[in-house]
Structure 1
Amino acid sequence: MGAPRIMVVEDEEALARGLAFNLEQEGYVPAVFGDGPAALAYFQEHPGEVDLILLDLMLPGMSGYEICREIRTVDGRVPILVLSARTLSEDRSQAFDCGTDQYLTKPFALPELLSRVRNLLDRSARMGLALKRMEAGDLFRFGNVTVDFARFEVRNGETVHTLTTMEMQLLRYLIQHEGTVLSRSRLLKDVWAEKADLATRSIDNFVMRLRKVIEQDPANPTYLVSIRGTGYRFDANPGLSQVQE
């Protein structure tokens, strides 16, 4: 197995060179792109050959949001780490809605960036090993929903949704801890392997996306419910849980 291959999509030339240099020092193989169309073309022409993407949002030709959406139509698993000077919560929410895994604002500390890169690559490798151990019938069903962990797919009635790696990891964790109230800080630590003080609000974005997939009425969820002031709880049989309570 060769060194991890990382796409750096950044139009600020000095920053792109610095990122490439430091990634090489860590033993990675970077490929640098200064505009959106070139980056997307490379990714499409090299299926399965990219292990992680560092993605700026403001790019010539097409935005990072557009690139992320296009990548997610063909690959839900490659980790995407957004690097952006945009700090508004709306920007984060839009990036997460497009399928990014993590969001780091500029300027950032190099050690934190490299730590996130390592964590994302390690998590992706563990997920790959887990998939190899899965059988095609590794399913979880509740209500009208069927979760196929091996295919990263969720069927709700007749509609099939493909999840990203982080979405599937979060859903798996929630299912594994069914009935347990999970705080945002715990989810961030156990699912994202991040410190609890790092943007716990990003959890809410992922939860909203999962609700759109598994709930009949995402605005009034029954399976993935909010616990005021704490976090979330997953109930596969909400009617039964209410009776027991």
Structure 2
Amino acid sequence: MKKGHHILIVEDEEHLSIGLRFNFEAEGYRVAVAGDGPSGLRIFRDAEPPIDLIILDLMLPGMSGYEICRQIRTIDPSVPILVLSARTLGEDKAKAFDFGSDQYLTKPFELVELISRVRNLLERRHGGHPVSPEQQETVSFGTAEVDFRTHEVKVAGEPRTLTPLELQLLRLFINNEGVVLTRGDILKEVWNIDPPPATRTVDNFVMRLRKHFEEDPANPKHILSVRGAGYRFMSRHEDSPEK
């Protein structure tokens, strides 16, 4: 992984943000810090070089972390966002994912784990995440071509930008082709939420994948709903209607 990646820390607890900045700079990263929501959003928009990853608290002055997440996703759909919050409920985690975060770590936390998660997210964003031998690096279905190593995605020859979570969900579907995956299965495997809370996180992300890969998202041919159960991925179109 290349050192010097630009990290933005949005955290209103000054002692924590100072400590995080010190430790990430010691790891070789360039670090910007904001103590409130509007400042964090402004730094993200104006940063040069651009921000490569965001560590984001949820309870912030001026603007919540949820709203920051939502606005950042309208600017950059793929920049990794790691939420670092004292909120521990499954509903809080699900809401953060719904708004576009990629990972969620609760306070108090182990610094080693945080640094490891940041490293892994940056490796995935920049195409350095290792692929296990049983996983295909490149996959084609319909008019789509996906390279999981480089994160290059094309649909009908046109490039598409997917977030790390969207790619992770797509990989889960592809690796389990033909298998019905429940929403609980998906939340556990992709979001590490168990037991699953009542949330539309999975449904929202499936809708996003369908917009990328289905010719008609309202009548999908690849990411199929199975009523009362979950979802099933098929690389080849089935003649039968969606269940």
TM-score by length of 1: 0.70
* 1:110 is the counterpart of 2:111: yes
Deviation (angstroms), 1:227? 9.6
Residue 78 of structure 2: aligned partner: 77
Q: Which runs of 5+ in 1 are unaligned?
A: 129-137, 156-160, 193-197
- Counting only pairs closer than 5 Å after superposition, residues 94-243 of structure 1 correspond to structure 2 as 94-126=95-127, 140-141=141-142, 163-175=162-174, 177-180=176-179, 198-200=192-194, 201=196, 207-213=202-208, 214=210, 216=218, 223-225=224-226, 233-236=232-235, 239=238
Q: Which runs of 5+ in 2 are unaligned?
A: 130-138, 211-216
Deviation (angstroms), 1:29? 1.1
| 1:83–1:104 Cα contact (<8 Å) kept | yes
| 1:223–1:238 Cα contact (<8 Å) kept | no
Deviation (angstroms), 1:18? 0.7
Aligned partners of 2:90 and 2:219: how far apart in 1? Answer: 24
Residue 134 of structure 1: aligned partner: none
Judged with a 3 Å threshold, the aligned counterparts in structure 2 of structure 1 residues 52 and 30 are, in CA distance, closer, same or farther, namely same
| Percent identity of paired positions between Structure 1 and Structure 2 | 51
- Counting only pairs closer than 5 Å after superposition, residues 48-59 of structure 1 correspond to structure 2 as 49-59=50-60
Residue 23 of structure 1: aligned partner: 24
Judged with a 3 Å threshold, the aligned counterparts in structure 2 of structure 1 residues 80 and 222 are, in CA distance, closer, same or farther, namely closer
Deviation string, structure 1 residues 182-237 (Cα, Å, up to 9, x no partner) = 69789977x78xxxxx53549x865322333336399xx97154896xx8641355
Instruction: Name whichever of 7-16 and 24-33 sits farther off.
Output: 24-33
Number of residue pairs the alignment of both structures matches: 217
Residue 132 of structure 1: aligned partner: none
| 2:187–2:193 Cα contact (<8 Å) kept | no
Aligned letter for 1:69? R
| 2:4–2:30 Cα contact (<8 Å) kept | yes
CA-atom RMSD in angstroms: 3.9
Deviation string, structure 1 residues 140-186 (Cα, Å, up to 9, x no partner) = 43xxxx7675886989xxxxx97423213322442354224669789
Aligned partners of 1:93 and 1:99: how far apart in 2? Answer: 10
Aligned letter for 1:65? Y
> Partner of 1:223: helix, strand, or coil?
strand
TM-score by length of 2: 0.71
> Partner of 1:44: helix, strand, or coil?
helix
